[in-house]
Structures are given as C-alpha cells and as structure tokens.
Structure 1
Amino acid sequence: MTEEQIDVLNPDGTFAGYSRGRTEVHEKGLWHRTVHIWAFDKSGRILFQLRAAVKENNPGLLDTSCAGHISAGDSSCNAAVRELREELGVTKTAEELEYLFESGHESVLNGGSYLDNEYYDTYKIVLSDEEAASLVPQPGEVDDFVWMTREEFFAKHKLNPEKFVDHPKDYAWLESNLVL
C-alpha cells in the first residue's frame, strides 16, 4: 500500500512546491495542511470523538468531531467531506460545510519522534437527528463519540484538560461563538 502523500508548506503556510509521504512529514516536522470539523446536533451539543486507544498520537483522548490530513493536490473542503465519511460515517456535501478559520499549530509528540507542524482549516456542520443517531466510528481511528453542551465541555476541560487533545484556537472559538 502506497503511503499518503501530503503537500509540504513553507513556515508561512505557502506551498513549498513538493509533496512527501506522511511518515517523512512527521519525522522531519515539515509544515502541512489538515482539517478540523466540529459537528453539532440541532440543539447545539458538540460532538467529540474519543480517539482510538491504538492511535499513535493522543490515544484515548477526546478530540474534534473529525479531523485529518489534506492529501497532496486536494482541497480542504474535499478532505473535510472525506474525513466525515470515513471517521463518522456521515455523508455531507461541500456546500453543507461552514468554513470558520485557519490556524497554525506546532506540537512535539511521542518523546520527540513525531513533529506535527500544521496549518488547519476549521469547519462546522450541523447533523440531522438521523445522522446524529447513527454515527459509525472508524475502527482504529475512533473508539466512541461523546456529546456535550458547551457548558459541559468547558467544565470538564477545566477539571481535566489532560483528557482532551489541545486545540486552543478551536476552544476559543467554541467559547466565544454561538454554535447554531
């Protein structure tokens, strides 16, 4: 199986003109693009995914509803639609995604063996009652889903921040914006 190729970026977020395999991107800390998608139900609850216990990074932590790398040559919108289908079992169109913001993030994981330097595009979607009731976690990626109100999230995050993947800009957006 061929490894996913990812477009490499300059530190300012512009395309560097070449792509590399996912492993090399993270071994060398090459800048690249990803997507974060926050899913809400009709009452405004936020969907968090419980990362699979077998994940290389942040296993067993609560994370954005859905996220993933943008493959070489792909758009963030297409990547978001693909990740929703793969990780949640939800089919949405690009038109159903609401673009929120871009952010840069640097992190060193796994004792320095995994360098994650990324720019990510953040989207919001609202799930129908049927979609919210029939989510399908992707084996090896997602172990479960947890719904929380904003108030529940911030209370739990304040008490136990170590149980969540750290996304400061995303959390600031959740705190300062009405979600629906």
Structure 2
Amino acid sequence: MNMETLKVFNEHRQETGVASREEVHQKGLWHETFQCWFVSIENGKPYVYLQKRSATKQDFPNLFDITAAGHLLSHETLQDGVREVEEELGLYVSFDELYSGGIKIDPVTLGNFVDREFAHVFIYNCKKDLHDFTLQQEEVSGMIKVELSEFNQLWEEKLDQVRITGFVVDEEGKAEELDEWVGTDAFVPHSKEYYQEIVQDMYDCLEDNGK
C-alpha cells in the first residue's frame, strides 16, 4: 500500500513539495484540507450539523467537529475533496452544490501535534435529517445539531453552553439519542474568530440560496 502524501507549502501558499501526513504534523508544515460544514433549516431556524470524532482518533478524540473534512492528498484536486462527505457520512454531494467560504487559516497545536492548514471551506445547505447519514465509524461516532444563532453566541462568549441534539453510535453500531448542554471544551479547539467566520459563511450561504 502506498503511503499517503500531501502537498506542502510555505506560509505564502507557494507549493514546496510533498510529505507524508505524519511528517506534515510533526514538523508543522503547511498543507491543504477540505472542510464541508452543513447548515439546515428547521422550523424556520438555521442549525449547524457537526460530527463527533471517534474515540479512536489520534487527534481530538470524542470532540465535536466540522460536519465532514479531510486532507487533500498530493494527487487530488480541490473538487476531489468532496469525497470526504460520502466517506464519512454516506451522503453523495456534488461539488457544484457547495457554497465556497474561501481559504481560512487557523493553526492548531496540541503537544507535539502541529496542524497548519490552508483550509478550503465550503458550506452545504442540507435538506436531510441527521438520521439519514451512514457514519464511517472508525472516523465518526455521532452527529449533532446546534441552533446556529446559539452556536455563534457561544463563540462570541455571550453563552456558556449550547444545547446539542443528535445521536452517538456504540461499538456494536447501535445509535443512542443525545440531548445535552455543552460548552466550548466539547468542540475541536479552533479559535473563536475562526468559528465566527464559519458562522458568517453559513448565513451568507443561506442568503445566497434564498433560504
């Protein structure tokens, strides 16, 4: 099996070569990722859908994260990144259906793990229910939704907690309903400014789609 390699860049987004995923994170090399955030309208209110990362993930296990995301491999185009949605959620989405939020930068460091991404951000106006997804269990252990306005207020530090509803899947594949209140420590530690930018992208997407 061939080792997965990623394109690597300098801080000006000029390509400098390729490296393995492990080397990229050990050395904190700049690389590209694909992010697809789902927004949905329910009873006239927008919600953001988030995945729960598997307990077996090496980085940020059990935290809530981008609906679907992954690295762009060295041989892939940006359009190829949409495969992450089908792989992680079992849902086919056309690249043409996505609203572009542009490229965002938000380096994350956790011990020896340094993640410097040029993140290609996309928003998908989803018409499906959370329970319509088929999760890739080694990557994703659950799906939740949060009212978008409350999610925004959490990162604006106007709320200490938000209500999440959805489900988690156990090792046997059995789904258990989830309904609880959580704070910022339940989410992957992107900066509050990063989350606020994403929220604005979601509102822009809904306005562009005429809700």
Normalization by structure 1: what TM-score? 0.87
Q: What is the deviation of 1:70? A: 0.4
Q: Distance in 2 between matches of 1:89 and 1:100?
A: 23
Q: Please report the RMSD computed on the Cα atoms of aligned residues, expressed in angstroms.
A: 1.9
Counterpart position of 2:6: 6
> Is contact 2:50–2:64 with CA below 8 Å preserved after alignment?
yes
Q: Distance in 1 between matches of 2:154 and 2:144?
A: 12
SS in 2 for 1:73: coil
SS in 2 for 1:171: helix
Counterpart position of 1:76: 78
Residues 156, 116 of structure 1: alpha-carbon distance in 2 compared, 3 angstrom cutoff: same
Q: What is the deviation of 1:154? A: 3.9
Structure with greater helix share of residues:
1
Q: What amino acid is the match of 2:62?
A: G
Counterpart position of 1:63: 65
> Is contact 2:7–2:73 with CA below 8 Å preserved after alignment?
yes
Q: What is the deviation of 1:166? A: 2.5
Q: Distance in 1 between matches of 2:195 and 2:28?
A: 24
Stretches of structure 2 lacking an aligned partner (at least 5 in a row): 161-182, 207-211
SS in 2 for 1:41: strand
Structure with max Cα Rg: 2
Percent of pairs identical after alignment?
A: 27
Q: What is the deviation of 1:62? A: 0.8
Q: What is the deviation of 1:69? A: 0.3
Residues 176, 118 of structure 1: alpha-carbon distance in 2 compared, 3 angstrom cutoff: closer
> Is contact 1:41–1:132 with CA below 8 Å preserved after alignment?
no
Q: What is the deviation of 1:132? A: 4.2
Q: What amino acid is the match of 1:9?
A: F
Deviation digits for residues 87-144 of structure 1, max 9, x if unmatched?
Answer: 11110111111111211122222x22x2211110100012223x64411121111100
Counterpart position of 2:86: 85
The answer to whether the aligner puts 1:171 opposite 2:169 as a matched pair is no
SS in 1 for 2:138: coil
Structure with greater strand share of residues:
2
Q: What amino acid is the match of 1:141?
A: E
Residues 174, 25 of structure 1: alpha-carbon distance in 2 compared, 3 angstrom cutoff: closer
> Is contact 2:152–2:196 with CA below 8 Å preserved after alignment?
no
SS in 2 for 1:2: coil
Counterpart position of 1:125: 124
Q: What is the deviation of 1:66? A: 1.0
> Is contact 1:150–1:174 with CA below 8 Å preserved after alignment?
no
> Is contact 2:6–2:18 with CA below 8 Å preserved after alignment?
yes
Normalization by structure 2: what TM-score? 0.76
Q: What is the deviation of 1:173? A: 2.4
Stretches of structure 1 lacking an aligned partner (at least 5 in a row): none
Q: Distance in 2 between matches of 1:77 and 1:14?
A: 20
Residues 141, 72 of structure 1: alpha-carbon distance in 2 compared, 3 angstrom cutoff: same
RCO higher in structure (CA 8 A, sep ≥6): 1
